[in-house]
Amino acid sequence: MLVSGCVVQPGRVVFRPPVIAVPPPVVVAPEPPEVMLVPDDYVWDGYEYVGLVGDQYYYLGPGNVWLVCEPFRLERFHGWEGGHPDWRAHAVRNDRFRTDRNGRVQPRQDRPGRPAPRKREDEH
């Protein structure tokens, strides 16, 4: 008769507990926090405020939060930009609208060697 854990050896039956292989624990790395960026400066393109972070354009949306420009906004902005190639030199320093779409205030990302834009925020 065989019972789980029993091993038959010549001349006798011995009990050895079964060896259970336990897989290593699954480690799930936490997802990195979503990085929400806020432009350090922006311009008024005749419709809305638009700013640039890296190669991504943002517009100032409802509730004064920065949102990624959809293709139609980007197309309109690039049309405006064609008539204002020096817009970066006339951009307004963003000290006022520092909130991302999650409601968090983002610090400035000033870069060394970059000229500081004008401080006025009332110019359109």
Number of domains in the chain: 1
89: domain range?
A: 36-110
The answer to whether position 96 is within a domain reads yes
Q: What is the pLDDT of residues 82-112, one digit of tens each?
A: 999 999 998 999 989 998 878 888 888 765 5
The β-bridge relationship of strands 49-53 and 56-60 is: antiparallel
Long-range contacts of 66-72 (CB under 8 A, 24+ apart): 66/36, 66/37, 66/38, 66/39, 66/97, 66/99, 66/100, 66/101, 67/101
Q: Residue 110 is encoded by which pair of tokens?
A: 């000033």
> What is the predicted pLDDT for the residue at 2?
47
What is the helix (H) or strand (E) element at residue 11, kind and residue range? none
Confidence band (pLDDT; 50, 70, 90) for 69? very high
The answer to whether position 20 is within a domain reads no
Amino acid identity, residue 75? E
Residue 42 dihedral angles phi and psi, to the nearest 5°: -155, 165
Q: What is the pLDDT of residues 24-64, one digit of tens each?
A: 888 887 766 556 689 999 999 999 999 999 899 999 999 89
Cross-strand partners of 51: 42, 58
The C-alpha angle with vertex 65 and arms to 61 and 69, in degrees rounded to 5, equals 50
> What is the predicted pLDDT for the residue at 29?
76
The answer to whether position 43 is within a domain reads yes
